[in-house]
Structure 1
Amino acid sequence: MSKGQGFGGFGLGKMKELADAFKKAQQVQEGAKQLQEELEQLEIQGEAQGGLVKVVLNGNQAPQRVEISQEVLQESAEVVSDLVTAAMKDAYEKSTLTMRQRMEELTSGLNIPGL
């Protein structure tokens, strides 16, 4: 074993890097737990036909409610179905973007492959 290298060439500098990485991972884990709680409370609204149909999801993409205006109810079942589907897609896209942005904020400054 060469002087100052520690176990298997894993010197003190590498140990500090490893400790820092563990510390950052723990911070991310704590932040992820807090983020999960925030997302549960968040409401994201998708719309169709200028807001005549609204779908609300929480930040974890769980459906919360659907609002359909009386005006839309005069349409055929097929039209109502299409509008609800469009509002769902809008809400889903918005919630996915929100989740991605929040995760990027949480992991900013970290070099984690895949994030």
Structure 2
Amino acid sequence: MSQGQGFSIPGIGKMKELADAVKKAQQIQEGAKQLQEDLEQMEIEGQAGDGLVKVFVSGNQEPRRVEIAPEALNEGAEILADLVGAAMKDAYQKSTDTMRERMETLTGGLNLPNLG
């Protein structure tokens, strides 16, 4: 055996990759738990009719409240219903976009290895 040459155990590299993947998965799990708490505390506003109707939801789409400007009441029930629906859709879209962005940030630079 020549000096300076070590030996290699087959599979050690894959074991290290697996251990790194488990560690990264744990980091994601911890981050996801914190993200869920953050989303629950968040308040996201959706609106319609240039702010005549505002709907507020949490970061995970839980309805919080609705604000209707007095002027919106003059529009009639059908228009008001449309405005509330549009504000709800706006709030929902903003909330899902926020959730998606936060998840991408959480999982973004982790580069999980291909263990297959």
Q: TM-score, normalised by structure 1?
A: 0.88
Alpha-carbon deviations, 1:36-74, whole Å to 9, x = none? 000000000000011110000000100000000000011
Partner SS for 1:61: coil
Equivalences for residues 1-115 of structure 1 within 5 A? 4-5=9-10, 11-111=11-111
Residue ranges of structure 2 left out of the alignment (5+ in a row): 1-7
Residue 43 of structure 1 aligns to which amino acid in structure 2? E
RMSD over aligned Cα atoms:
1.1
Partner of 1:8: none
Q: TM-score, normalised by structure 2?
A: 0.87
Higher RCO (C-alpha 8 Å, min separation 6): 2
Whole-angstrom distance in 2 between the partners of 1:86 and 1:21: 43
Structure index of larger Rg: 2
Partner SS for 1:27: helix
Partner SS for 2:109: coil
